[in-house]
Structure 1
């Protein structure tokens, strides 16, 4: 041996002179000359600063897929599936980019610092994130970027997936300033400004007040639809504390900070040191008259109560066996009494919280286990009340338990109990493994038979019939508020918006295609929808509420369809002519975006835009090949798009035919 170091040939390298020998270049790398000390990466492949020379070159990951969004007022839950390619690395994480977009334009700006992300915005290892404190009725675009150690060498939109959505209405922000005027011995007038963020139409204001030196729980409430009110029957020369909050259709906002005002001093003049006998006689006579009035009023009230009690007993006897009537917990003078009456208190030692599965209006929603003495352990969902709550927030939170605790039906979410005697305050319900119905159906698009889907409808209608029989109005029946368990049993849930308010007997919903609906437009039948089922939909969408079927009738109709499966074989597409209510009044949709939103496939907006399909006329000759080129490969989604295109085309022909003179 002459002591010389062997020179490595092309395709090999020696990183240090002390290495035993030459090494072959790792995967996706090469050396072009003899004596190389390292290997260069192939085009499109990279190394990070910390990668050893022996490690193969890698590349950035592909984009995540199956991005699903779930909007809850001004919060959004985003979930996605990992990318198909990790780039050959194990350090995959995700970054979230939030943009606020101006309606009807393409202008978007980064979201502000007040937006909150749970668990975090950058370097996420899980495939879900909750975004909070967004603005109400606002368009947002969220991008989920897949990132690894070499992403910075070649950042590209191919590594991101995006979704555009609109937040819902939300409770108003705090009333910031409360002022007083016209203060007297027993009254004062309050006035205030509208909240900085009303987040909708203010329906009413609520004023809570109490004596400064008294317990805050001994408060009184005054409600008003204006931004001022007169507070009466106050004690002279006394300090009072006032809080004001506003309410929209989404509920109450938080109470304002405390504002303190005092009534004026007593100014009773002294008429004389000694009363005359005439004055004394008048006072005695007055007292006698008042006493007689009290006795008469007491007699009348007692008689009326006896009559009411007998009437109530008669009504209860006339009720059908087993049918109960819903009792509104908000009618209780002490809301805590309703909670004690309808919800069972559970010891925290029986509860084991396992993981966070969502974010609710008042705090986190978790899954866990409940083991009551003498019973088997079961899975449960646990709603928790976030720290720093006020007494009113606590009562509002627990009021849902007072509602659910009155129900006992296989298609209504079941209440296990509440925790009120320690923190955190909790509501425990049965656990529904498959989550909300809308998310469940999106994840399992095309996997269920028509009979299975009709069975799901039948279960929901049965639950709503039960509520109707109890004289209960839900007011927010939607697929997002239906939960699905492991046996595909659907149960009505989310009773937070259900209270019927005395000053708002007609809850109203608004929609962006409202003019077309007033003209008679109704959504076309979904793809492969049975004709009989679509006819039931149209009956439920009748303009006059008296013409719509009751839930008991809906249950009967669905039962007939299930017992006669042959009636479900004829689909709406088999009809000789399109239904006039779905096509003759079809709205003039101005964009492809609006059309995709109506058929529930708005996630493909960017696909259509990038491919140049910017008008409805341009999509009419569309084919399966066109959809595949745009990256829309799901056969169920392709069929839905093409079916909708056919509906549009038929509708245009129908309207043209209607213009031909007879």
Structure 2
């Protein structure tokens, strides 16, 4: 095509040539000097095309330049895994294998609530919160909170990009099915005032929107406005109460919270109500009443003190009579016993007053040692429910306990569906002491009510065999489960297990209970990978425990899991439980390895006393190993508290990137084990003999060809070296590295002679 410059121009006419693009090429602008080939996944069949059409199943956004290749929606995300924590679910996945040729990939989470009976699902609704968000996710993880308890959910994780909305085909997503656990109820949202007098206020309220189980009771906290440090707690099983003994014409603030088997929910917002004013005449008539009341009260207390001194030898044989008498007058609603106190329970309502925190909140229960009861049967029946033997069906034996067999079976209670349980039986021919010790575990377990503590269903004491019935944990003990599934879980899943254990231990610590035998073998795990602390009471009787050893101060304790002060001075506290928790962390991250390997108990005691600490497990995040070391501080006051441990693990779960930094392989060996003579020089005569001994003989030739021809050379091998040598299987890597670590640990015997 020729274009001539107009005649009026003085310059020489210029002839411009424009090329016509043939099929397969295009010219986006008429001013472009040449044609361009159609970008990938696009075409044109006509001449002089200004753009190219996208191939089938490929698309282009309006904002995409015509020179950009046509793209398609991404494939589904891969390898999605979940971690359930009560009514929260953490999801993590791997990006799609095919991004569709685009970089603007994000993720969308669809949530469905499913009925386990009908199989039908419905959208979750607006009550579920997504952290950080439900749509437009750039990172490959998300947490859902405020889910319903004991509910089946399906989460669909879909990868989308700029052309996903143009795709008429089916959505590409990966789905994850989870079942939430029990959880505390949501806050009470609506409170109504009823009858109001000059000295009382009546209230009623609605059950929480999400009870998450059966409401066992409500706790009502109230105080005079601007007097928050002096308040009163009322506990009620009904959704109404009357607060009396109030001042006329005064404003009072009320807050209410509900409790289920999972514990207390949060307090409601503050509701303010005012009592009726008193008339002037009535006020003058009663002006002398407070003086009279105070005088009478002081007289009664003085009388109680005198009587207490006279009867001081009658309380528990410890001379606590005057104090008991004084308490009885000051707090008549309490029944006092030697060694513990227990609030007298009103079936419908309980009230207790607090001033500046001098009396413990009733919502925070305190552990009561069953041994303080003169009659052990009284403790059992106070804390454990009696079950008819006819309600229990024993199906099979799954293990042996200290006092008899452990079985699985089913429990059918009136008005409830049949469900699986674990049953501990007391063997025939037991002594009365064995029966007392056996039921002692139920007396302890029955006081606990937490999703990470094994739940006691009840006991059978009125017929034989005597039984303890608990919830059934499908995957059994944690140490055995981890050994069977070596290397099968993500770090997030392992941290989720550790978080559950720490949460259970925080609950026990808050109640004032010291476990003394916290170890992976005493943690049970269910099909949802929820870990629950178990083995109460019987953990005090360690005579038959293969892990227990006698100490110099007498008695048997599990040396490898026990804090130094507990070994040396039998000083068991929550801080010593924290030490044991650090060992459990090490067990979990090493998939059930035996702590300190084959070192003797005496070796362990001596090495720990001299500063040796277990090295980091393979591929362990640095943040987790640092937490282990914190738990193993020699000064027990320097160790973290369980609430701090739970908080730290929650932060790690919310920020998975913080778990990507691993402990440097070269620093895995403790400082006690370096700069000493070559490892294993006398243990194996050759590299081949060593590899054969650990059933890794297939790698002998590879080691020799790469210069690892002596045990001295092998001792310096790192994980990176193994990968370079072609040892790619995680199980083989762990076996070789752990064998080398064991040989290094054996140096302790030569360094710390006993």
Per the normalisation by structure 2, the TM-score is 0.41
Over alpha carbons, which structure has the higher Rg? 2
Length-normalised TM-score, structure 1: 0.46
